[in-house]
Structure 1
Amino acid sequence: MHEDSGSRAGNTDWQALQVANFNTLNLARAGHAFYPNEEGYDEHEYARKVAWLGEQIRRLNADVACFEEVWDTSALHDAALASGLHYPVVIAPGAENGAEGTPRVGLVTRFDLVEVTSLAAFPPGMSLQVPELGEYGHFERPVLHAKLRTHGGTTFDLLVVHLKSKRPKFLLDAAGHALEDRNDPAVVARATLRSLIMRGAEAAALRATVSSILAGTHTPLVLVGDLNDQPHSVTSQIIAATSEVVFDRSARDTALWHAYDVQTGSSLRRDVAYSHVHQGSPEILDQIWVSEEFVAGSRFAVGDVRRVDYFNDHLNEGRDRTRSDHGFVRAVLRLRSQSARRDPAAEPARGF
């Protein structure tokens, strides 16, 4: 279903757009051995994976679809083609000739791509020392920053992210052999701390990136991806900085809001809002965040978040690497037409 609330109601003041996120679980071409300890897909597995992902893309029918764990841009092309939908833009920076070491994030969209940047290095001054590993100053999976233009002519910023996982970061030699006893609880704890520090450093670097994009502007921004932590975790809140708004109203200029928490639709199915199951516990790792321009009631709102849905039934169908181990999330956003927008300068200051 592709919602366009304005056209259905005969109201041309609104344009609906849908943004979705898909963690693909190693989307790679047949024969691409993406990890040293895991065989690549054979032709049959590859065909099944592309067909399955294509069906999910078709089902969510997003105007902007974001992807994690893309090893080959050509595989993302095949999945988009298998959806049967028309997407003029299909990109996964760094995976054009097959990614090595770590997978990349990707983007498929119906909208015009104005500009795209792959952000690997942290902003200046944001690197951090990780115990036994030294300076950490880059995103393990580079962030994709795109400027998109909707069919209605509105430009907005999009960040596609995939933060460091919670898996323990054990020390390895140059050949990839373990240097630590992975059965020692103290070693596991310290290796898990390294991962937390790395994810925290990425979160802080992303906060600096978001701030630099949003400061002094009122161009909408949407951040989408697998944050490998819950929305109210410390790392997610570092990125969003929403809590700062409580103490400093001016902080809303660069803050982000979890789309699920600010949706304006009447159907809030919180009992099914999860995207991953870890040791039997459901988690929301895959998230969509928006700037204040999409928050109803904000003085500078040019739209809102109408609805957020999670698609996670396949998580209960058993493990199979041709499917994903993550649920998918889709947000239905709305933008006001230029003629229907308020002029904040002509309005008295409001509480938000």
Structure 2
Amino acid sequence: MNDPKTRRPRQADIATLAGVSVSTVSRVLANEPGISETVRRQILKVAAEHGYPVKPAIETVAGGLALIASDGVTGGLSIFYEAIVDGLRAGAADAGMPFDIRLVREDRTTPDAVRDYMKAAGAEGLFLVGIDPNETLRDWLQASMTPTVLVNGTDPRMQFDGVSPANFFGAYEATHRLLKAGHRRILHLTGSHRHTIRERIRGFEAAIAAVPGAEGRLLPMTFQSSASREAHELTLAALAENAGFTAAFCMNDFIAVGVLEAVNEAGLRVPEDFAIVGFDDLPCALMTNPRLSTMRVDRAALGREAVSLMLSRFRDRTAPARHNCQAVVPVPGGTVPNAEPVRGADDL
């Protein structure tokens, strides 16, 4: 007669000890998806304690859904978000993460709509790309403990993970390049409700404040038409005041193109009479004459880093939120004299 202590346990024995069905035990031991992690761990623990041979577990990664603000990607900034999506796709593929994308109107990101999008995609994690969640959505994401990563976004309350360019420091450096070249009256063309853009405004103002005698002026934009066209009109109006402004730091390169056109139209030489620095290093920066001096954002790296944050959030859904900044690198061009970046304000 076999000794029950030495008899190899059967799946029925594991099921009885774990308090689940035999079919559930079978699916867990075969590494099949669709079983909660709590039940899976319990069955594997019982199996290991009773000497049941278990195949090495194949780690399964929950799916992710990227919601992207359609107002941004269907306009001039499509090239900016295209590279971010490439990074998201590459990072998800490397991690074995099922991944889907949906374009949405930012004002329609209600909890019910987001829940439906995620259910249809079979996703557990949410990437908000270029979207700052409204208060109602924030509350639902937190209450449901939905793993969420803001991509090209920041959360001033640090309730959600996020990844973004170093907007404050990048704007500070961009303005510093103009100050280093001797400019003391500098325009900043900008405009957005987004926290990321507000950080660029703060960086501009901090750089101006660091230099005695320097003055900066914000030229708010509405973006009701072409960004370049609006920037062109605003710059012409500012130059017509003869207020002594000799340089401009622009929120992005599209805006910088409009500024450059206006300066040329006003009969000023670039960079001798008027200097310009853009932001993002978009393809249009290579097409201007002279070539635009700008700040490079590694958009694909933002996407890959967002996936890394999501994987960490899947592993620990109660950990404190993290925000990662990607360095913004100065790109020399012909719209700033001696455009090689010099860091720090001490040598101004």
- TM bin, normalised by shorter chain, reads under 0.3
Q: Normalized per residue, which structure has more strand?
A: 1
Give TM-score scaled by structure 2 length.
0.27
Q: Look at both structures and tell me which one has the larger radius of gyration over its CA atoms.
A: 2
Give TM-score scaled by structure 1 length.
0.27
Q: Normalized per residue, which structure has more helix?
A: 2
